[in-house]
Amino acid sequence: MKQLSLLLLMMVAVWRCSSSINTTELGPEERLNYAVSLYEEEDYEDALNEFQSLLLQYPGSIIVDDTQYYLGMTRYQRDEYIVAAYEFSKLIRNMPASEFVPKAQYMLAESYYQLSPNFNLDQQYTIKAVAELQAFIDYFPLNEKVVEAENQINELNVKLAKKEYQTAIIYEKLEYYNASIKYLNNVIETYHDTPYAVMASYRKILLLMEREREDEAFAEMKKFLLLYPDDVNYEEVEEMKNSLDAQLKGNFSVN
């Protein structure tokens, strides 16, 4: 087996030194090795053609999953992230027993990660990236890429939280207060482990107080003081809560 592998590598080296190669005379494994050598030398255009030809000519061969994975990787290296995502998902869907599935799942998520735009644009690819990264973690919890995937999820969640928070601020400026509170609530509940959660909670308190919704503001103040004891606005919120508490008790005693 080692001698065969060495022979294939030597053949690839000879092929790469030749001015032209007649790949029609090669077997499927030999052509795969040749295509991979093109990929590794960053000759992505020729590699792409070879991988596509292999899939068409040897649809039932043992090299199909290798070829499908490298086809996705070639698309990825060419910055064709949408097509790369399709190729990786095709491998996952059609060849679930392949050894390449963990790599393909991560690269599927990575393709969407690369498509994730600035926070002020539509975030559909960011949401897809988070979903696929989480699927990777759930299905392959012992994989060496899990820590990196978790870091990427945290990064993308910050972006999504910022998008929601800025939308809330815009609605507040437009005086659509209920819509603003809705988006603030989404930040607090969905992205509670991002810096924008504390900002949203504080903003919600101020907005509720401005709208004279003291009972709701008081409840949010208690949550804020419990969850964010180290925040720079802690003392201000504490003073507001104590003042509102005294006011509410005073109103209750008069009644």
The model's pTM: 0.85
Contact at 8 Å (CB) between 156 and 136? Answer: no
pLDDT exceeds cutoff 50 at 5: no
> Is 50 exceeded by the pLDDT of residue 163?
yes
pLDDT digits (tens, 9 = 90+) for 88-128: 999 999 999 999 999 999 999 999 999 999 999 999 999 99
Over residues 200-251, the pLDDT tens digits come to 999 999 999 999 999 999 999 999 999 999 999 999 999 999 999 888 776 6
Per-residue pLDDT, 227: 96
The pLDDT assigned to 20 comes to 53
**What's the average model confidence in pLDDT over 162-180?**
97
Whole-number Å distance between alpha carbons of 241 and 214: 10
How much of the chain, in percent, has pLDDT values that exceed 90? Answer: 83
